[in-house]
Amino acid sequence: MSNNRQQTAVEWLAEQMLYPEFANPYIEQAKEMEKEQIKDAYWNGSDGIKTKTQILNEAEQFFNETYGGNK
């Protein structure tokens, strides 16, 4: 992987599968679920000073910077 992009757990699992291309719709759905879990973690760990929108935007930015968005 380039640009210090990290792998999600779902991407790692897909690489380990014998035929990951057959599971692609499920992989994409699982990656979206993983993204939502990151957003929930940001929200649950918030200090209450920022708005929900600000927190969720930060979570989205973190995901995109760390895992490359919807790739």
Do residues 32 and 20 lie in contact, with contact meaning Cβ atoms separated by under 8 Å? no
Query: How many Å apart are CA 42 and CA 34, to the nearest integer?
Result: 13
Identify the pLDDT of residue 1. 40
Note down pLDDT in tens along the chain; length 71 residues. Answer: 445 778 888 888 877 776 666 667 877 888 888 888 888 888 888 888 888 899 999 999 998 898 886 54
Structure tokens at 8: 């999600």
In degrees rounded to 5, what are phi and psi of residue 45? -95, 10
Q: Which amino acid is at 32?
A: E
What are the tens digits of pLDDT across the range 20-40? 666 678 778 888 888 888 888
Q: Tell me the C-alpha distance between 9 and 28, whole Å.
A: 12
